[in-house]
C-alpha cells in the first residue's frame, strides 16, 4: 500500500514542479503551505503573512512594499507515517512480493497476524505534503498594490480500514495543484476616501488559475495486483476568485479586523490524463472499468466558498520584542466531509519576533495546540510548524497531527 502512496506523491508532484473514503466529497480550496499562519493556529485573516494575499485575505497585498520570493520548498507529514513505513518495509511489502495467496494456503496464521497489524497501524490517516514556491512578487505604488505568483502543491492521504472479514482495505487519495494567483489591492486610507474614515481600511481581490490533478485507489489489499497495479490520474482546470477587507486601528490603536471570501468558482470537470505503473512490467493495458469508476467518483464534486472573519490585536513594542500580536478567527472551511460544529472553525493564535531574526508562534485550532518558529533574514527564511487537523465529525474524534518545514529565498 505504501508503495502506491509514495509513487502517488512523486507522480502528482512532478507535473506541478458504505465505505468511508479519505477522498473528500467537495473540492479542496486552493492553497500552498503558509507556515506563519499554521503555527499560529491558522488565525490569519487579520494578520498579514508573506502568502496570505495569495491564499488568505487579498487585502493583505497592501501591507508592505516590495517583496520577492525566488524559490521555496515545503515538506510535511501527518499521522503515524514513520510507523507505517517501518511496517511496510519489514512486513507488508515482503508479504505482497511473496504473494498473499501463497500465505493464505501455506501460512494462514502469518497472514492473519499481518492483517491485524495492518489494521492497527493503518487505521489513522497518514498524509504527505510537498509544495514548491516558485517566483512570487508584490509591488506597491502609492495606495495601490499588485502581486502575482506561481505555486505547486501536492497532498497525498492514505488509510487502511476493515474491508469486511478482517481483510485490510487500502484507501488512497492524491491531489496536485499548479496555482497561478494574481492579486490587486488598495489602501483606502491613502486615497481621498480615507479622509473620512476613522480607521485604516484596505481592500483586495484575487483570481487564481488552477490546474488540478487527482487520483484515488480503493481496494482490498489482497486484490492489489503485484504484477500489474496502476494509478489513474484525472486532470481539471478552473479559476478561483477571492476578495477581502482589512481594517486597522479600529476604535483603539492596534485592534485590526479582517474578512475574506475565497474559493469562489464552479465545479471542476475532470478528464482522464494518464496512467502510472506502480508494479509489474510497463505496457500493461489500462483497466477501463477502474478509470470509469474513478471519473464517476470525482464527477460533479461541488466547490464551496470559504468565509473567514477575524480580529487581531497588535501589542505595543518593547525592547527586544516586536511584531507581537494575538488573533482570533472563524473559518467556514471544513476539514472533513462531515458537518462539523462551529467550534471546529475557531482558530486562535499569537506570534512575536524576538530581536531581528527569530519568530515564535503558538495557537489553538479545532481544540488542538499548534506551534512554530522561524529564522528570518533579509534574503532567507527557515520555518517549522506543527498543527492538528480533525478528520471526524466531532472534536477529538479522529485527530491527526502534521509537521511541516519550509525554506525560501528572496527579498522580504
- The 10s digit of each residue's pLDDT in 353-380 is 998 899 999 999 999 999 999 999 999 9
Highest mean pLDDT among 98-112, 152-166, 372-386: 372-386
Kindly state whether residue 5 falls inside one of the protein's structural domains. Answer: no
For residues 158 and 160, give the distance between their C-alpha atoms in angstroms, rounded to a whole number: 7
**166: left (phi > 0), else alpha (psi -120 to 50), else beta?**
left
Kindly state whether residue 311 falls inside one of the protein's structural domains. Answer: yes
Above pLDDT 70, what percent of the chain? 93
Kindly state whether residue 217 falls inside one of the protein's structural domains. Answer: no
- pLDDT value for 130: 94
Stretch 107-119: mean pLDDT, rounded? Answer: 83
For residues 134 and 265, give the distance between their C-alpha atoms in angstroms, rounded to a whole number: 24
69 class by beta-carbon count within 10 Å (0-12 exposed, 13-18 middle, 19+ buried): buried
Question: Strands 144-162, 67-78: parallel, antiparallel or unpaired by DSSP?
Answer: unpaired
For residues 27 and 266, give the distance between their C-alpha atoms in angstroms, rounded to a whole number: 10
Nearest to 219 by CA among 290, 125, 274: 290
For residues 209 and 261, give the distance between their C-alpha atoms in angstroms, rounded to a whole number: 17
| Cβ pair 132, 17 in contact under 8 A | yes
Question: How far is CA 349 from each of CA 38, 46, 50, 62, 131, rounded to the nearest angstrom?
Answer: 9, 11, 17, 22, 24
Query: pTM for the full model?
Result: 0.87
Count of domains observed in the chain: 1
Question: How far is CA 149 from each of CA 52, 108, 209, 285, 333, rounded to the nearest angstrom?
Answer: 12, 55, 11, 39, 23
Stretch 265-273: mean pLDDT, rounded? Answer: 91
Q: HSE (CB half, 13 Å, CA atoms) of 182?
A: 3
Kindly state whether residue 319 falls inside one of the protein's structural domains. Answer: yes
**What end-to-end distance do the CA atoms of the chain give, in Å?**
42
Kindly state whether residue 134 falls inside one of the protein's structural domains. Answer: no
Kindly state whether residue 139 falls inside one of the protein's structural domains. Answer: no
pLDDT tens-place string over residues 81-100 = 778 778 878 887 787 777 77
| Cβ pair 276, 90 in contact under 8 A | no
pLDDT band at 17 (very low <50, low <70, confident <90, very high): very low
Kindly state whether residue 378 falls inside one of the protein's structural domains. Answer: yes
What counts of helices (H) and strands (E) characterise the chain?
A: 8, 15
Range of the domain at 335: 34-78+180-211+225-411
Kindly state whether residue 268 falls inside one of the protein's structural domains. Answer: yes
Highest mean pLDDT among 23-27, 109-113, 360-364, 399-403: 360-364
Amino acid at each position: 500500500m505504501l508503495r502506491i502512496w509514495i509513487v502517488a506523491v512523486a507522480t502528482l508532484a512532478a507535473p506541478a514542479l458504505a465505505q468511508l473514503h479519505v477522498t473528500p466529497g467537495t473540492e479542496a480550496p486552493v492553497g500552498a503551505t503558509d507556515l506563519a499562519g499554521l503555527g499560529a493556529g491558522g488565525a490569519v485573516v487579520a494578520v498579514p503573512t508573506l502568502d496570505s494575499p495569495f491564499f488568505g485575505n487579498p487585502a493583505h497585498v497592501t501591507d508592505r512594499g516590495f517583496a520577492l520570493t525566488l524559490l521555496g520548498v515545503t515538506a510535511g507529514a501527518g499521522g503515524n507515517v514513520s510507523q507505517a513505513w517501518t511496517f511496510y518495509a519489514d512486513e507488508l511489502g515482503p508479504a505482497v512480493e511473496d504473494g498473499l495467496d501463497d500465505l493464505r494456503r501455506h501460512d494462514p496464521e502469518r497472514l492473519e497476524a499481518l492483517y491485524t497489524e495492518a489494521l492497527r497501524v493503518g487505521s489513522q490517516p497518514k498524509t504527505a505534503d510537498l509544495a514548491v514556491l516558485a517566483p512570487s512578487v508584490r509591488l506597491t505604488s502609492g495606495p495601490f498594490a499588485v502581486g502575482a505568483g506561481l505555486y505547486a502543491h501536492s497532498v497525498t492521504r492514505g488509510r487502511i480500514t476493515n474491508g469486511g472479514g478482517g481483510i485490510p482495505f487500502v484507501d488512497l487519495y492524491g491531489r496536485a495543484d499548479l496555482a497561478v494567483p494574481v492579486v490587486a489591492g488598495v489602501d483606502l486610507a491613502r486615497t481621498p476616501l480615507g479622509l473620512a474614515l476613522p480607521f485604516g481600511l484596505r481592500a483586495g481581490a484575487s483570481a487564481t488559475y488552477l490546474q488540478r490533478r487527482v487520483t484515488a485507489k480503493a481496494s482490498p489489499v489482497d486484490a492489489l495486483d503485484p504484477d500489474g497495479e496502476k494509478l489513474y490520474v484525472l486532470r481539471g482546470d478552473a479559476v478561483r476568485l477571492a476578495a477581502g477587507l482589512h481594517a486597522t486601528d479600529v476604535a483603539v490603536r492596534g485592534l485590526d479586523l479582517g474578512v475574506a471570501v475565497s474559493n469562489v468558482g464552479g465545479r471542476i470537470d475532470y478528464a482522464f490524463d494518464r496512467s502510472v505503473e506502480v508494479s509489474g512490467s510497463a505496457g500493461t493495458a489500462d483497466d477501463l472499468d477502474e478509470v470509469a469508476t474513478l471519473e464517476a467518483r470525482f464527477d460533479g464534486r461541488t466547490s464551496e466558498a470559504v468565509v473567514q472573519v477575524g480580529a487581531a490585536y497588535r501589542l505595543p513594542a518593547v525592547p527586544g520584542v516586536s511584531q507581537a500580536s494575538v488573533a482570533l478567527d472563524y473559518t467556514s472551511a471544513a476539514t472533513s466531509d462531515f458537518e462539523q460544529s462551529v467550534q471546529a472553525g475557531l482558530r486562535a493564535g499569537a506570534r512575536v519576533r524576538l530581536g531581528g531574526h527569530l519568530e515564535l508562534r503558538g495557537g489553538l485550532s479545532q481544540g488542538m495546540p499548534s506551534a512554530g518558529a522561524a529564522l528570518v533574514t533579509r534574503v532567507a527564511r527557515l520555518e517549522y510548524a506543527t498543527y492538528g487537523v480533525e478528520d471526524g465529525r466531532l472534536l477529538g474524534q479522529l485527530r491527526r497531527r502534521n509537521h511541516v518545514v519550509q525554506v525560501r529565498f528572496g527579498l522580504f
